[in-house]
Amino acid sequence: MAKYKQLTHEQRKQIETGLQQQGSFKKIAETIGKDCSTISKEVRSHLICRKTGAYGKPFNDCSLRKKCQQIDICPTCSASKRRPLYCSFCGRCLHTCISYHKQVCPKLSKPPYVCNGCKQQRLCTLEKKFYNAALAQKEYEDVLSESRQGIALSDEERERIDAIISPLIRQGQSLHHIYLEHKAELMVSERTLYLYMDANLFSARNIDMPRKVRMRPRRKRPNTIKIDTKCRQGRTMKDLNAFMASHPDTPVVQIDSVEGTKGGAVLLTITFVTAGLQIAFRRDHNDAQSVITVFNQLYATLGAGSFKELFPVILADNGSEFSDPKRIEFDEHGNRRSYVFYCNASAPYQKGSCEVHHEMIRRILPKGVDLTAYQQEQINLMMSHINSYRRKTLENKSPYEMFSFQYGEKLLKKIGLRKIPPDEIILSPRLFK
């Protein structure tokens, strides 16, 4: 049996075929010559969620759908001129109804964890999960490519090297000279030192190096800097639950990224769950430094007191842009300002409020739209329209009103939001046209 080898595209196709034929993990593992635990990890790591509904029925995963008697509770249904429609036959009212409770198929909690080969697939209106060999292979290749980019350096290691080279650079010495004299202490190559300097990881900057300032830099793809590969230790969902048990009244803020085109500008979204309010910040690249810059700007704009009140606990996913939690948790003087935790892998539902609010953004900026052309003022305008929209889940109040009641309208003004009159709210691409 082959060990310590990555799965190939052909082996992933065999896994997909085996799942389609309702084969067990053990049987599939024997076919491709792997351990059954490898098959289990592969399938769970590359799950694809689809809200496809069933034959003749729209998607509806509410546990009360079969006995629900609600009619036309959302504006889309009530504004139509056709006959009244029961909400059990509608897939648009799920996040409008206050009685909505998500139902998950119990079969997905045990092997094979997917709907491939399920005989009830055409009759089921719940959210489905699939394993696709082609998409799994692409995800593997993307992760492999990403792991070979950027810089992996812990805070302790960065501070140790910084203490050696920054004072000498300010004395006018070159990195080449410093490297020759302190090679045994630095434990990195000269080329690596220049990469660290270009990434602004040290207190000394390129402007402190006379020859570096005179030379025009080469054009290159910006690096995605990964500061600490062990950043999630002590910050898992289990750790969050333990923290909340001892701090039960502490609000949790959820953060995520919204992408446009691959390699283009992205949005950092921040969702205040209790108020139902979401704000967004445009970033040129989806890297860790841009996320840190946003939080530093918020810290400076809101002040230390307001920032700690708004961001006591932050919940993020496992994206590489959130891989530097310490610089989010602490200010430049080492004072704690927040706590960062991470969702489990392949579990976006653990920050469901953030995911639901993204649907509002996609009404205005559909998937595939290049975000590079939009400025922060336009993003603030979009979020002002979204947060002025009344929600039934908020007792017919808007997120703007709820946040103002909890924290005061002054903070919303500092963030860049304003209240839009109800009849002027636009939740479509027409907003920017």
User: 226 pLDDT exceeds 60?
Assistant: no
Q: How far is CA 295 from CA 280, 314, 320, 324, in A?
A: 12, 11, 16, 12
The per-residue pLDDT for range 266-319, each reduced to its tens digit, is 999 999 999 999 999 999 988 888 999 999 999 999 999 999 999 999 999 988
Tell me how far apart the alpha carbons of residues 242 and 260 are, in angstroms, rounded to a whole number. 36
pTM above 0.85, yes or no: no
29 lies in the same domain as 159: no
315 lies in the same domain as 186: no
Q: How far is CA 380 from CA 124, 155, 361, 377, 383, in A?
A: 40, 34, 12, 5, 5
398, 395, 406: which is closest to 422 by C-alpha? 398
Structure tokens belonging to residue 114: 């997917």
| Total count of domains within the chain | 3
Residue 203: give the domain boundaries.
155-208
- Identify which has the larger pLDDT, 72 or 326: 326
Residue where the block lists tokens 């959302």: 74
Greatest mean pLDDT among 53-57, 316-320, 380-384: 380-384
- Identify which has the larger pLDDT, 292 or 5: 292
253 lies in the same domain as 302: yes
In this structure, is residue 40 part of a structural domain?
yes
CATH number of the CATH domain containing 346? 3.30.420.10
State the helix-helix crossing angle for 9-20 and 36-45, rounded to 10 degrees.
Answer: 90
Tell me how far apart the alpha carbons of residues 156 and 111 are, in angstroms, rounded to a whole number. 42
User: 76 pLDDT exceeds 60?
Assistant: no
In this structure, is residue 334 part of a structural domain?
yes
Average pLDDT over residues 363-388: 94
In this structure, is residue 283 part of a structural domain?
yes
Distance from the Cα of residue 124 to its chain's centroid? 29
Strands 47-50 and 277-283: unpaired
